[in-house]
Structure 1
């Protein structure tokens, strides 16, 4: 598939009245600072009819008035703290064309081909990427926080590649922005409006360090792993789990839950199943410890709750772990309970403890975040990024919702993405990067419930 770039330009917010002063800035919250300092990319596919590129572009300019952060730039204040400059420098808008049908693009099969359907990823460059892509990245202060690519096909289909910086917003907030973009394109009022105040996470006086955060969300500079490995032997495998399979998995896990009448969730059961299957396919030493990093949204866990319209990052992680031998010898229930208990632990008290620690200890002890997108191998560990509850499929420019929504090509061994299937029946698609030599073993057991 040869993607022909037609144009690349910067577009800025389109104000109806006088633009606001551009010297304003937003300080990054402790949750922003703890997340991944990198761009993430997602890809949409729409069947015809779709609005012309100009209509989509103008809608983007209008929604940037409400979400000014995306049109800004990263910078630092006079104390050296990271901020978002609300300077309306704009976002990158690329128009491209493919002389062929979208069916030939094989969007449903994760591969490096996807890299040509969205703007480049800063700090996360696949070795297969073009040389010119490697040279295009900007330094702090001029980084384009949002980049969009519209790729048209001869069949009339449209692919939208969306590259956004994670320091600005988490998946929850980004999905809300995308829905608002569609509203603007359809001539609707943007609703609900985002909450932009990132100063709401104030530490307690005195601070209470109730939980351990060093070695969890943060690590010292001396011990931080900066090793980079090749991705040539990593394959991104897609697995589809039907509603029937998920129900059986959940029933199997919950049937051993004793006197607790509350069943485990579908998510907990599936992640436990994948943890065991991937660990088995890796052929690890039984005495090794394996751990999963699971994202936890704090909006409903903090007390008082934070509005769902909060725009920014508000995520911490659960870290269930086990010895390989025990994980594989014990029944599914064992792994599910480890995951359930670890997730339950990340409650209001944990979030408050994190806020206190991040405000008082990180700078004092010269710590850095453990969230690292530069790693290419997580073995013996895993990471789970669940997009099951985000309204990504609700993006509608006027011709209907997308029929494909997928993450880009992320060949990081062990970093999984869980998405609701485009079928729309409650089934789940999982994108799993594995070492090529482990793929056959995984395929043989990924549908076996034991």
Structure 2
């Protein structure tokens, strides 16, 4: 049910760690032997300096970010020879609760992927800047339970709307909606194991935002929170069987209608912050850097943790005009910096 594309993850290991731990592990050769289907591709590069780059590309048709994290960390643990038992992925739970659809031929993303006038930039939110951002929002609304994901998501949404307003030339904020991908494994009753394999996520949709006066950051924080919170155990319990794919189809079709027919921007966010890619130690030490690429879809953002776990790196895709405006927005740059 996910968009029909592959998503890559690149893990960089420094030369000093590789030399310290040694490189006598044959993990990549083992992986190439075991998997020959086009659900995953693996490539290991070793540079003259001694550093390693492990690239892994997953098919999003059957694997989501949580599955990818479980796979990489289990593979890394097995490569180090740790653990008495190999991790057996939970393949059956998702299929039993949400049976796969046969002859599913609807192109959910036609007209939304591959725009030529879009650009992706990496944006860094340091721990101190996130603290300052949350402090400002708390001052506005006296809500002390704002998460860093909610704060950063709302800031990117608000600043993107300001960029769209500046690009349009009519001096008006566009009406917009946002959605946030929600991992449903821990939302279900009973919860599913974190190693359950599949695309076990759902899109939390915000209500429509029409700005008639001041665009306030804490208002968007509330919209983001409401969108995520509505994907709870009660909501998920109503999606068993064909209702789950039908809801996903309706969500994507709604996005297409808004974006393509009504010209209402739809801002999509997904957080990989809790997926622990920086824990993937194959025997060379932990990665010094983990990266992916932006999705070729307008108004899309992926949030990842920085190496220390305290900051956030965001890959944000906007139109070239909107990105130019965003890069000149002083209110945004108070809390964010563009990676050159």
TM range (shorter): 0.7 to 0.9
Q: Does 1:311 align with 2:282?
A: no
Q: Does 1:333 align with 2:218?
A: yes
Residues 391 and 444 of structure 1: is their aligned pair in 2 closer, same or farther, counting only changes over 3 Å?
Answer: same
Q: Which residue of 1 aligns with 2:302?
A: 417
* 1:258-407 map, 5 Å: 262-283=144-165, 284=168, 286=172, 288-326=174-212, 329-356=214-241, 358=243, 362=246, 370=252, 380-407=265-292
Structure showing greater Rg: 1
* 1:137-148 map, 5 Å: 144-148=38-42
Q: Distance in 2 between matches of 1:194 and 1:234?
A: 37
Q: Distance in 1 between matches of 2:304 and 2:200?
A: 20
Q: Distance in 2 between matches of 1:323 and 1:297?
A: 24
Q: Which residue of 2 aligns with 1:195?
A: 90
| Superposition deviation, residue 191 in structure 1 | 5.4
Q: Distance in 2 between matches of 1:239 and 1:292?
A: 19
| Superposition deviation, residue 382 in structure 1 | 1.5
Query: For the Cα contact (< 8 Å) 2:113–2:296, is it kept in 1?
Result: no
Q: Distance in 2 between matches of 1:431 and 1:295?
A: 15
Aligned length: 313
3-state DSSP class of the match of 1:45? Answer: strand
Q: Distance in 1 between matches of 2:161 and 2:270?
A: 18
Q: Distance in 2 between matches of 1:287 and 1:404?
A: 37
Q: Distance in 1 between matches of 2:197 and 2:113?
A: 34
Residues 228 and 269 of structure 1: is their aligned pair in 2 closer, same or farther, counting only changes over 3 Å?
Answer: closer
Give 2:61's match in structure 1, choosing from 167, 178, 182.
167
User: Which region of structure 1 is more displaced relative to structure 2, 245-254 or 169-178?
Assistant: 245-254
Give 2:324's match in structure 1, choosing from 423, 440, 447.
440
Give 2:139's match in structure 1, choosing from 240, 255, 263.
255
Query: For the Cα contact (< 8 Å) 2:109–2:252, is it kept in 1?
Result: no
| Superposition deviation, residue 234 in structure 1 | 2.4
Q: Which residue of 2 aligns with 1:42?
A: 9
Unpaired runs of at least 5, structure 1: 1-33, 65-70, 72-89, 92-143, 204-219
Q: Distance in 2 between matches of 1:275 and 1:321?
A: 14
3-state DSSP class of the match of 2:273? Answer: coil
Q: Does 1:56 align with 2:27?
A: yes
Give the alignment's TM-score, normalised by structure 1: 0.62
Q: Say which structure is richer in helix.
A: 2
Unpaired runs of at least 5, structure 2: 100-104, 336-340
Q: Distance in 2 between matches of 1:339 and 1:228?
A: 22
Q: Distance in 2 between matches of 1:221 and 1:431?
A: 28
Q: Distance in 2 between matches of 1:225 and 1:191?
A: 37
Query: For the Cα contact (< 8 Å) 1:250–1:269, is it kept in 2?
Result: yes
Q: Distance in 1 between matches of 2:112 and 2:126?
A: 36
Query: For the Cα contact (< 8 Å) 2:137–2:217, is it kept in 1?
Result: yes
CA RMSD, Structure 1 to Structure 2 (Å)? 3.4
Q: Which residue of 2 aligns with 1:227?
A: 111
| Superposition deviation, residue 247 in structure 1 | 1.1
